[in-house]
């Protein structure tokens, strides 16, 4: 008989974790929580889970990186079930999806409708898959690659996404800008080409990449608006702001970002680039992390350390010493 597990990545959302564990505790064989919360929230989560006596739930600490995708392969390594249902703490599976979960055993991966409550649109997310048939590369908002056959669940089995619209005034807006600069731009065009054609292109001149990416952003997101998807008005200015941030970076640092982008794609993604597909490295970084440096800064300096020394950091104290950093909030 095939087994089914729930995989959750959490940072400081105790209520979201508790909601998901309550909904799915009796529907799955195992619940794995990869937690990057601040110490007080981690303690609160552990206390709540202990009181609930959830025998199927197990929690692993992981260094925060500003967004969950770089830790996806680490999370997979901690799950033991045949199939995995991946959910974020701000998502809610509907009753029918929970009830029919174990009926889906024919394909290696399943796409599920996700209803964006605030935006009033539907996106399609690959969230149910065989543990040994999936590959994450660490791209922000990534749909993973299925190493096999995939299908789509019926429309009456879906996920509700309870987050609101991206707001430029949100405290984490600038943090996402830092992450995007390293994880998506300046190789936005490369990302599109690799996903669509398995091709890479490299640039000798920063002006070329600026022009091509500006054209891509303009045409791609304006094309989305033609289909009347309501989030086009949100994402287009976001990426144009990202473009402006990149343009205001001194030319020598633009070239560094482009060099880093080449190395990341030669490594087949940020997870491989930082060796985060090795559980022992994630655990070593977690053990040596001081828990008071913001996740997006952790992400940034791990990348710069890898670029500087051409090897992955295994001890976060080495990263702090390399860049003469003092842990700070």
Q: Which domains does the chain have, with CATH numbers?
A: 4-161 (3.90.550.10), 173-322 (no CATH)
Pair type for strands 4-10 and 83-88: parallel
CB atoms < 10 A from the CB of 241, how many? Answer: 14
Least confident of 95-99, 131-135, 180-184, 276-280: 180-184
If pLDDT is split at 50, 70 and 90, which confidence band does 169 have?
very low
User: What confidence score (pLDDT) does residue 166 get?
Assistant: 46
In the prediction, which pLDDT does 268 show?
A: 83
The most confident of the ranges 36-45, 218-227, 256-265 is 36-45
* 28-31 CB contacts, 8 Å cutoff, 24+ apart: 28/4, 28/56, 28/81, 28/85, 28/101, 29/3, 29/4, 29/5, 29/56, 29/81, 30/3, 30/5, 30/6, 30/56, 30/58, 30/79, 30/80, 30/81, 31/5, 31/6, 31/56, 31/57, 31/58
More confident residue, 122 or 16: 16
**Neighbour-count burial for 193-209, b at 16+ CB within 10 Å, e otherwise:** bbeeeeeeeebeebeeb
User: In the prediction, which pLDDT does 142 show?
Assistant: 83
Maximum average pLDDT range among 73-77, 159-163, 207-211: 73-77
Supply 138's token pair: 């660490």
Task: For residue 25, report the phi and psi dihedrals to the nearest 5 degrees.
Answer: -55, -40
pLDDT at 2 over 90: yes
Residues whose CB falls within 8 Å of the CB of residue 192, separated by 6 or more in sequence, listed in order = 216, 220
- Overall average pLDDT of the 103-107 stretch: 97
Residues in the chain: 329
Q: Nearest Cα to 58, choosing from 35, 82, 38?
A: 35
**Closest by Cα among 300, 213, 295, 293 to 260:** 300
Q: Which phi and psi angles does 145 have, rounded to 5°?
A: -90, 130
pLDDT band at 168 (very low <50, low <70, confident <90, very high): very low
What radius of gyration do the chain's Cα atoms show? 20
pLDDT tens digits, 234-291:
666 777 777 777 778 888 888 888 788 778 877 888 999 999 999 999 999 999 999 9
Could you tell me the pLDDT band of residue 329, with boundaries at 50, 70 and 90? very low
- Using CA atoms of 211, 250, 70, 20 in order, give the dihedral in degrees to the nearest 10: -90
Report pLDDT digits (tens) over 44-94.
999 999 888 777 899 999 999 999 999 999 999 999 999 999 999 999 999
Mean pLDDT of all residues belonging to the chain? 84
The Cα 274–Cα 303 span in angstroms is 7
């Amino acid at each position: 008989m095939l087994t089914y597990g729930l995989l959750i990545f959490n940072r400081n959302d105790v209520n979201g974790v508790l909601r998901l564990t309550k909904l799915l505790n009796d529907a799955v064989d195992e619940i794995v929580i990869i937690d990057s919360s601040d110490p007080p929230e981690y303690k609160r989560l552990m206390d709540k889970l202990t009181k609930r006596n959830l025998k199927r739930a197990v929690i692993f600490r992981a260094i925060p990186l500003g967004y969950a995708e770089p830790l996806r392969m680490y999370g997979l390594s901690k799950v033991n079930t045949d199939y995995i249902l991946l959910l974020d703490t701000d998502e809610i599976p509907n009753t029918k999806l929970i009830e029919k979960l174990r009926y889906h055993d024919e394909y290696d991966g399943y796409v599920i409708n996700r209803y964006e409550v605030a935006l009033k649109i539907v996106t399609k997310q690959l969230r149910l898959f065989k543990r040994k048939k999936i590959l994450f590369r660490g791209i922000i908002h990534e749909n993973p690659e299925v190493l096999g056959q995939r299908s789509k669940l019926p429309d009456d089995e879906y996920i509700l996404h309870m987050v609101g619209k991206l707001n430029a005034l949100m405290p984490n807006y600038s943090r996402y800008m830092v992450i995007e600069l390293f994880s998506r731009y300046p190789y936005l065009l490369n990302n599109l080409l690799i996903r669509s054609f398995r091709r890479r292109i490299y640039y000798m001149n920063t002006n070329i990449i600026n022009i091509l990416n500006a054209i891509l952003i303009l045409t791609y997101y304006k094309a989305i608006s033609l289909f009347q998807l309501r989030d086009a008005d949100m994402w287009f200015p976001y990426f144009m702001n990202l473009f402006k941030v990149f343009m205001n970076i001194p030319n020598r640092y633009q070239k560094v970002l482009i060099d880093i982008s080449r190395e990341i794609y030669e490594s087949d993604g940020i997870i491989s680039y930082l060796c985060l597909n090795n559980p022992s490295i994630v655990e070593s970084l977690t053990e040596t992390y001081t828990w008071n440096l913001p996740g997006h800064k952790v992400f940034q300096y791990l990348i710069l350390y890898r670029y500087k020394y051409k090897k992955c950091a295994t001890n976060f104290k080495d990263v702090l010493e390399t860049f003469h950093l003092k842990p700070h909030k």
